[in-house]
Structure 1
Amino acid sequence: MDEKSQSVPQENDKTLANENEPTEKLGFFRDFFQKFVEREKLLDFTEPSTKNPRKHKEPFTWRILSFFNFLIFTISFMAGSYLVGIHFKMAPYMSVVEGYDRGGMFLTVSAVNYTTGMIALLGFCMSNSTLHNRRHGSGHMMLYMHMLWVFGMILILITTIAMCHGAYLQLDDNFQGGFYMSMLKYETDKAVALKIDDIQKDFKCCGNMGPDEWFKISWDDMIPDDKKGVPKSCCDTSRFPLDECVSFEDITEKDGLTIFYESCLENIKSRYRQVLNVCFASMSFSLSVMLICFVLGILNIRWVKNYRKIILRERLRHLAKVLDYTEIGQKFLNKLLSKEESELESDVLDKI
């Protein structure tokens, strides 16, 4: 009896020790996280009902970054919309002009402007949303990703600016022929005739290099031999009504014509230069502000040591909440605690 009575307390002590073992491990686990989290200042371990979340003081650079991102977004989308509008306006009739790239330059620059605007919009939302209040976690990952996009966009802007500058320098060579060859088809090809008429109306001009070119070619078989003239699209309707326009006259009396005398080719080049100047100005502005945003972004993340630390902090922050406040987290914690204590830290940091 004495041996049995002595063995029963020993078994009870072992049972109590086994029951207390998860509690002891739980205490160890919580102490480990509490010390780590307090050292990193990620969150406090007070109860949810009494916890007051810490308010992060916004650095002034975040507000400047937000303003510049909004500025880039506005300018880029305005420039992109302007170029798209110019393309759809000019594309239907510019196909008769030799050297026209079918709007490839305008569309490329528009795409670059829209992409720049979207990246700037992302930066604006990031710096004005709850992400900037979570700079200890996923906010930093988003900031790193945004900075990577900004750096890539800077390279694209530099390349596009160089491309626009090259197109500006080669403009005279690309449009050297103009649409004189298309003028020879004016009589036989009605589609070409309509496009040339649209060019002359839109650019307020007459002929490729001037109205004299119409006098040298046969563009209408109804014109008498003793007269020369130009199409009605050359009429200067800003000074004279169309029904009073004099587009045909004796060969020796050209001064009485009420038409435009400007060269269409020169007007086209002038319009094209204006558009390229808009492209160059908008992208140069975006590039300058992007560089400023890149520097401001570096100032905002300069204290972050490496990407691994960011992920680790975010995991620990969420893991601590789950394990501390949920029943599912307690069960999950008990499974983790069944492992050796020596492997506990590495399992949590690498597998969770």
Structure 2
Amino acid sequence: MTQTARTRIGILGAGQLALMLAEAGRRLDVDIICAGQPGDCAEQVAPVVAVDLDDAAAVAAFAAQVDLVTIESENIDATVLHGLNLYPNARAVGIAQDRLPEKSFFQVCGIGTAPFAPVDSLQDLERAIVSTGLPAILKTRRMGYDGKGQVRLHRPEDAAAAWEEIGRVSCILEGMLRFDAEVSLIAARGRTGQIVFYPLIENHHRDGILRTSIAPYAHASTLQAQAEAYMTKILEELDYVGVLAIEFFVQGDTLRANEMAPRVHNSGHWTIEGSKTSQFENHLRAIAGMELGSTESRPTVMLNCIGMMPSVEETAQFPVLFRHDYGKESRPGRKVGHLTCAASETTVIAEWQRRLGQI
């Protein structure tokens, strides 16, 4: 009997998302190789090849060694990605890495957003303040994450200082919405068009960085179908393959899109222990052409460890706690790991969320 060759998957990047993808790959008939730098945390579980991700020729040479390529960050120049056997495709990545086409794409798909306007000069900013209203947030169009590349404006006279602080680069001004909650939906779409959804996730941020995620969102009953309809529209419009995350603001019984991530997402880390099939495994299944796994889930809370990992003594109070240490050097504001608690009862999660928040 001829043995079927294992699928070789290349990941552009070798950080913690690549680490968790590589861990998931151990359970599948795939081999993972990462493009990054020596010492990147994915090196703990997968080979890491030194590649400059800004060098199109170097990326193409890496891609030639594998069957297909995926990403762990959308902040790779989309022009570097064209011509690769890439999942998700370069169009999806290009839209997601620039806030202006991203917001415009949401609107084309019939999905509401906060009011926004492009800003390329101080004069643009002054006009945008009139159209979007205040308070508002000035955001760089590219490379913003974890609260970086953002300046809040409360008064028209804040414009000049905000423009200087942001670095006089292309931005959007986004009106600040009043909202009830911040949630995200994670889904996977396979090559055949099969789609699976995870439950809506409630997210809490501190200083612009995701701190906790709770699944399922307590008030998801009226919103899950709406979120899934929006997600389906986007996945099919982009002919998307892989995991996609969309962040929403909840306003009563309405969802407004904030941003999307064409990759596995921080708010989905809970799926490793909380779902039958994690977002990481389903991403690999999708891009490798396999059938997608069940997303049946149990109530779960995830806490990001920012700056440093808590001691074992601090976490010993939790009866069912899973520690994920990324092996990264401690540094203020840096995600170095996460903790997950899963339960059979939704009521337990609120108490675990409170206690985890004290760590």
Which TM-score applies when normalising by structure 1?
0.20
Choose 1 or 2 for highest CA Rg: 1
**Structure that is richer in helix per residue:** 1
Larger relative contact order (CA 8 Å, sep ≥ 6)? 1
Which TM-score applies when normalising by structure 2?
0.19
